[in-house]
Every structure is written in C-alpha cells, then in structure tokens.
Structure 1
Amino acid sequence: MSVPTRSQQNYRDRDIFRDAKDRIYVTLGHIQPKDGIISTLKYVPDRKGKWQSQGIRYRRVFSNNVESVTGGQGILPDDYYDDSHFGIPLLKFPKHEVTQYYSPEKRLESLLETGCNDPLEQTAVELSQILHDNLDIPFNHLGVTGSIAWHAHNPGFSDINLNIHGYEWSWILEQGYSELVEENTELQMKKGNLWDDSIARAAKRIPVLRSSALKRLFTRRTQLMYNGHGVTIMPVLYSSESPIRYGSEKYYTLDLVISDFKIKSSRYGIFFPAIYDVTGEVQYETQILSINRLLIYDGTFRGLFHPEDQIQVCGTLQRVESSEQKSPFHQIMIGTKSGSGREFIKLTRPSQSYL
C-alpha cells in the first residue's frame, strides 16, 4: 500500500505538523476541508523558549482556549484564512506547504519497536499497552500526540497526551473507564479536589458561570490518573466519520442568546467539536426559532451531557444553510471568540439514567 503524501494526508483533530519556517501547528477539530487544514499555530521558534526539537527552541503562542479558532492571525498571510464554512476567518493552512507531518500512530509504533528514552515516553507506552490489553483496542488506533509527538517534550514539565482514533474505539474507551481502573491498580479516575485548579481556571475564563455549576459539570468528566499523574486521552474521528462535511454548510451569526434545551443525542458529544442534537427554542427579535443542534468548540463542555439531560445554554445563535437540506435551520455555537467569557452550558436537570 502506498503511503499518502502530505498533500494527500487526511488531517484529523489534534494532528501536528510543521511548516518551512519551523513553526508548529495543531489541527483543530474533525470538520476539515480536503484542500487545507483548519488548525492553530501553537509554537514558534524562539531562542528563549522552553521547548526544544531538532535543535530549535520554541515558545508557545497559543494555550488551548476558545481564541484558538483565529490562532496565527497577525503572523500568517491573510490568504491563509477562510470563512466559507464557519462564517468567520479560520486558519486553513495549505496542505502543500506542510514540510513535516507527525503521525501519532507512527510515533507510538516507533516507541513500541525501538524503546523509550525517558519516563514520559515510557508512561505513554505503558498506558497504550493497558488500553490494548484490557479493551482490545488495536495499537494502530492509538497514537501519541502533544509535545511527545514532535520530540519536544521535557520530563520536567510536559504532559502525556494520547489519541484514540475511530468512532467505535473511542466509545469503547468512554464506556470502559471503570473496567480499566478495576483491573489496573496504577490507574485512578481524576475526581474531587483534584479538579480544583481546572475549575478555578474555567471560572476565571467564564465568570458568568458560578463555581458550583462548574463543580457539578466536572463530576462528569472522565480523565485517568496514571500513578497519580494526569493523562489526556482524546477521542478522534477519522475524516470519513465526521457528521459534518466541510463546505456543505455555511453559518451566519445572529446574536448571543440564552435558553433551555433537552439533549436528544450525544453520539458525537465526546469529540471535538462536540455536537449534540437538542430540542428547544430561542427568541430572536420577534421570532421563536427551533434549535436542532449545539456545536461546541469550548473543550470545557465536551463529553459531559447525556440524552434527556436538561441544560441551560448561553451561546451564539447561527442560521445554518446546508447543501444537504432544503431549508435553513438554526444551531447554537459555544466557543466563539466574540462570545468569549459569556458563553456557557449549565446542567439544570440530569437524566435519571445518568445520575
């Protein structure tokens, strides 16, 4: 089987790549065009930077917040940005200008075959082996990402980030956390006051949401601890699995709205962007509009809600024109730059099935 060139590569959420000026980018979400990469510029060369790879020191220019959607503006040319789908200019990096692609699967394969150089790499391998042995997840559906992927990690401060690729395997993991913790004494679930720092950061970024509401949400988060250290395992869709094809829709922003909804489906709620089918209405000017969908680009609210949950949402109302539907419909997006600090989701009445 031939190996795809970088221009043919189907880029997925959290994939990492480099350009000719040695800048490092991270792919943003599963709604991806065929001729470019919706992404954010994350690291740039800097002699005083704390990360180092291929003899170059780097500093981080983006740190995983909602403003990632416009990451790189002011540094990259204007023609690198595209608004044909989302209605706002997002970085659409040209595939032909990628000089190096860091495959998460290939990085893990290399560690499994040739061995590890430090404790972070060793932990990534051991955790991958646990997922493989306990949940039968194939190694070729697992990958190492984050700074380990591009050999820039430092055991003194870097995190451990894994990807699990594919809709079915992602849900097997999502439903298998209890089994993993029961079968492996080195694994624990992150809970209680271990979330305090995360809740404090979220409260600072979203001041309209009380800490008590955030604490209620964070009781639903699923994150593993490995020998007391947090690890992130991100579920990632293949490009063919994304429920929204890039360019098949166009979003028109209307206003910031607040209303109550009931979750109808959470099939794509654990991915990024998280998508929830909902039932509910909002008032916009003199109209009452039905809302079909929540599209969430704020990771704080990813993977937290279940069918029949009742929620309060403050987000950006958008009219969606779709080439696959005759009539426009409306959605609410959470995680927009214009709504930063004001957009939120609050759990008001949990489903009886998920108490």
Structure 2
Amino acid sequence: MARYFNDVASYQSALVSFYRTLKAHGSRGVVVKTSQGGYGGTPYVNQRGQAQVKAAKTVGLKVALYHYGTFNSTRYGTGDPATEAHLMANTAKAWGCGKDTIMVLDAEDPSLRTQVSADAALFYTALRRYGFHNFDIYFPASWYWAGRIKIGTSFKLGGWPASYGSASSGVSGAKSWQYTDDWQGLHVDGSLDYGGQYTGATKYAKKKPNPKLTKDNVDDYYYTYNPKRIIVKETIYQHKNNQLGSKASRGRKLVAGTAVDIARLHFSGDSVPVPYFELANGTYITANRYFVKNAYYELPNLKAIEVVKSTYLYRDLKRTKVVKRVHKPTNRWPKGTPFDVTKVIHVDGTWVLKLANGFYCTAYKKYVKKTK
C-alpha cells in the first residue's frame, strides 16, 4: 500500500511540532533539501536542514536528502556535476546522515542540459566515491515524456516524478509520485511512496513485540505520537510507574478490546528513545503497536466506511448540529449503513470523517469500520 511522505526546504519549519503534525496526518517520511550549486560556483546549504533532519527523526519519520542540481557538463565540463555531489556529500556527513541515506537529485532547473541523465550519472558516480549508495531522481513528469530523464539505469533509480492535477504520475514504473504542493493544507509538498524507500514501509510487528529497535524503525513498532485513545489488542497491564517490564509495578489488567484514553506520551532510553503512554489516572501502559491500536481512523487513504454501531451524522465539523432523519424514530444511522469518505480531518485532538454527502461523523472504530 502506498504511504505518504513530504519534502522540505529552508522555508519549512524545523520545529518538532511541525513534523509531529505531518505524521499525525499520515506522513511517514521526509526528504530534506541539503544544498544547491557546488564548489567553484555559488554553493548554497540549507541552514535549517540539520535541525529539520533531527526533528523529523525525533518523531519517527524516515529521512532522505535532496540536492537541487544546477550543473551542466556541456557548458562547464564533466567535473561540474561532481562539484555539486561533493557539496551534497559534505553536507550530509556534517548533518550526521549515514552512507545508506537516500540521496536524491532534484532535476528541474532550466540550466540543466537537455540530456539530464548523462550528467546525473556523473553526479551519482561522484557520490559513490564519497561512500553513498542509495540514489533517486526527482523531476517534472514532462521531462520524462520528452526523453530528458531516465529511471532505473545502473543506479537503480526508482523515479520520483512531479505531476499535479492528474490521476497518476503518468511515468510508467515510477516508485513514487509528488502530486500536490499543499498537502493537507499544511503548505508542504505531498507525495505517495509505492516502493517503500522513502517511508520504510515495514509491516508492523505481529509476532515480535520486542524487536531490535533503531531510530529509523521505532515508528514501525511503537506509536511516537499521542493518538488520544487506543484499543487494546493483546492483554496488557497498567503500571504504577514507567518500569513496564517489572511485574512488581503491575496494576489493573486490560484485556483485548478495552478502550482507554491517553493523557500523555513519554519516552524512555537514551540511544533509541522508546515511547510509552500515561493514562489520565496516572498509570502507564505500553505504546507498542503489537499490543495496542489507534481507536480512530487517521490516515487520509480512507475512502469508504460502514456503520458498526448506530451513530449520528453532523452538519458541522465540531459535531454540534445533528443531522435530522425525517420520518425516522431516531436520528442515529443504523448498523450496516455505508458511506463514502472524502477526507480524514484531525480536529481538537481527535479525528473526524467528512463524508461524500457533505456531513461529518466520528472516525472511532467502535462505531465505523473501513470498507475501502
């Protein structure tokens, strides 16, 4: 299943709260601009970039990097792409990004030569000399159609085309697609990841509740934000303190199906901060996805639902004006009623569904279930 990711530059925030908001809306990765131009010309480095990388990793988003290319070997010689690769490599290293980081060439500037792929090969070859080995290319879809860009190649480029206002990228074989410059109304580019390289589309653990955690995979196993309300999947215990592995701190048992409200999210550990939840009564429970699940639908890929417990529809987003059901004994919509969904909205710390009929309803899984 495709997952959402975003790309950011110096005009986006470096605050952790911004990346937590992206994640709450369904994003699972961020591509941060490192640089533009190269040595010998007019090198530019994103001064917010290092803080953006740190903030994105703090909330569990997978991080990739991109360089805005302005090289042209036909004008400035075959060493020109290499100078820009050198700048990107040095910036990535200075920011503490590993050699396995995805390094993306942003190929859209008018100064690039007509056959961009030839210069791109020189760029990637130089990055290899600096130890990097995961590459991709971002480009306007029209450049691919015109033959200026190639994907695949010996550098295994998945291809990240940009095409707005269309049903797809229009680039056969592309592994991702940037489709908007105002994702979820947050003034940031939005893309879909079909291949998993930008979002680390690892399935959540089902048989391994205690995996080997890293900063890059902790989100695949734990909630790294406060979902406000969860439903227990496997029996767990409330604990008197944050020593969740201690039997001595155990309190009330919570069986599968129990729903509880989350007051706060905390982290323990140093090298890899492990999330856990605090409840309103001052006790603590695990935030491990193996044991608990979000009680609300929150991802924007929800298209249709069915009522599983009779519920109201509302005329307003705040859900204060109930939709009247004329000539019906109740204003509740019965179990089994289907609705198409146009948007999943995060409001007042929870999630609300906007339906195709223009009304609103809860996203709480106790009352509705996803059908598409």
Is the structural similarity TM-score above 0.5?
Answer: no
Between structure 1 and structure 2, the one with the greater Rg is 2
Larger relative contact order, structure 1 or 2 (CA cutoff 8 Å, min sep 6): 1
Q: TM-score, normalised by structure 2?
A: 0.28
| Bigger helix fraction | 1
Structure having the higher strand fraction is 1
- TM-score, length of structure 1 as denominator length: 0.29
